[in-house]
Amino acid sequence: MTTELSEAWKLFEAGDPQGSIRALRFAADGLTPAEIAPLVAKLAEGAGFTDLAEASAALSAGPGDVEGLYRFGYACVERGVAALAVPALGEALRLSLAPGAPQRTGLFRRRTKRSGSRELTPRRVLAELVSALEDGERHPEALAVLREHDALLGDWPDRCLTVYNALMSGRTAVAREVFDALSAPEGMWVGPGERVGRMLDRAAAVPPVDDRDLRGWHHVLTGGLLTTLSPHGFDQGMTGRWAYLQDDFDSCRYGLERLRTVLAAAGRAPGSVGLLSDRGSRALGLAAARLLGVPAAPYRPGTPDVLVVAYDLNECDPQEVAGLRDRAEGELLFEHATCWTDTPGVTADVCTLLVQTVVAPWEPGLAFTEDGEEQRSEPDGRSAEELAEAILAADPVPQEGDGASPADPDEALAAFAARAAGGWARGPRDRIRSSGPVRSSRFA
């Protein structure tokens, strides 16, 4: 038993299943599926995941069985531990392609078998392996395995996945080459085809500078405009994103000023502000309406030329968020704090910052006594109208930062928004789950 696996067992036996699964995630690529299956079975039983427990037990009994490896990998992906699926699915793909293994086709056709299950083919195993790699944002590996086994692929969805993973890896030339060779999509694949097509168009119109150009890649992948970059730890792995932010009113006001910079540079003048129902979004929306000199009213889908304002879309009413995917004529969506590790259901046209965990100014946060001891601050119970006044009274200046992160003046943001304006705020607001080519440190 390896040191890593032994540590995972110790954590499990000590009553720390979360610690155990974290240890397995980090060590999975250095362990065989059969080695981890007994522990995964125990963890799955404790969590009530019968499908994963049964698949783990079956894999322990038959470690060289393609079907067993696939079932284990599939169950791991379904239960949110894709890192454990990758070695099993990789081995299943290798065995299914080995000389003498039955070669079958028909990934998307159901065939009658005695068990009633779908035919397990190399193409189907490959698709699940790519899904597992995408779940872990391991896009270069997904691209590599798709390119290696291109002979197994059809255009839709397979080679469209090649395009997507090339984009998420920063390989725009590869993505364009494969995309241009695809046949016309039909049915359910029209939407995904249009989505990657829009990404490629944005990459051609406003090419990112390099793999640390967070604003550039955010625009290519989401279509949105990111107005600020974190001034902390750029060269230490954050590359413009925040891991944790205890927000304040100055930041909210500064975000609205940067929004005004984008609107002016892009030549957009909203006719009104649409207010969402949660208190934070309503407060920010009321402040935005005052700054822009336009009326504010509760948001109604279909309202033309409206600027919809959200503080954090993940904290908004899910039904309101779902209604924002398709835009009305001239409609814009602004979000102040966008979570980049658990992206909201729709992508905002403009966002102030990308953060993993944010504490809003009106929520209880961390404070320190005169002796330096941590304590929780009291929540701000004021109404949305009163919070809007506090935002308007705040000082719209950026944080000083660490002095080592790149400067991000208004002029640079305005120039970027002007370049992007021609193709900006078009099409549906698709959710993009991956952080793309620009990597940032995050909490485990």
Alpha-carbon gap, residue 357 to 379, rounded angstroms? 17
Alpha-carbon gap, residue 138 to 55, rounded angstroms? 24
Share of residues in the chain with pLDDT > 90 (%): 88
Alpha-carbon gap, residue 384 to 283, rounded angstroms? 4
In tens, the pLDDT along 387-427 reads: 999 999 999 999 888 988 999 999 999 999 999 999 999 99
- Hey, what amino acid is at 252? C
Overall residue count recorded for the chain in this entry: 444
Q: Considering the chain, what is the average pLDDT of its residues? A: 94
Nearest to 203 by CA among 441, 440, 436, 439: 436
pLDDT band at 114 (very low <50, low <70, confident <90, very high): very low
Alpha-carbon gap, residue 24 to 33, rounded angstroms? 11
Domain 214-423 has CATH 3.40.50.2020: yes
In tens, the pLDDT along 280-315 reads: 999 999 999 999 999 999 999 999 999 999 999 999
CA distances from 266 to 257, 398, 421 (A): 14, 22, 5
Whether 115 has a pLDDT exceeding 60, the answer reads: no
In tens, the pLDDT along 7-48 reads: 999 999 999 999 999 999 999 999 999 999 999 999 999 999
Alpha-carbon gap, residue 37 to 53, rounded angstroms? 9
In tens, the pLDDT along 216-240 reads: 999 999 999 999 999 999 999 999 9
pLDDT at 109: 36
In tens, the pLDDT along 270-285 reads: 999 999 999 999 999 9
Whether 117 has a pLDDT exceeding 70, the answer reads: no
Alpha-carbon gap, residue 269 to 403, rounded angstroms? 35
Query: Could you give the residue range(s) of every CATH 1.25.40 domain in the chain?
Result: 3-199
Nearest to 380 by CA among 365, 362, 366: 362
Whether 176 has a pLDDT exceeding 60, the answer reads: yes
Q: Within a 10 A sphere around the Cβ of 97, how many other Cβ atoms?
A: 15
Going by C-beta distance under 8 Å and a sequence separation of 6 or more, which residues neighbour residue 280?
A: 311, 312, 315, 360, 362, 384, 387
Name the packing angle between helices 33-47 and 17-27 (round to 10°): 150
Answering whether pTM is above 0.85, one says yes
Query: Could you give the residue range(s) of every CATH 3.40.50.2020 domain in the chain?
Result: 214-423
From the candidate CATH numbers 3.90.550, 1.25.40, 1.20.1250, 2.60.120, the one assigned to the domain spanning 3-199: 1.25.40
Average pLDDT over residues 53-58: 97
The neighbouring-strand residues paired with 309 are 275, 334
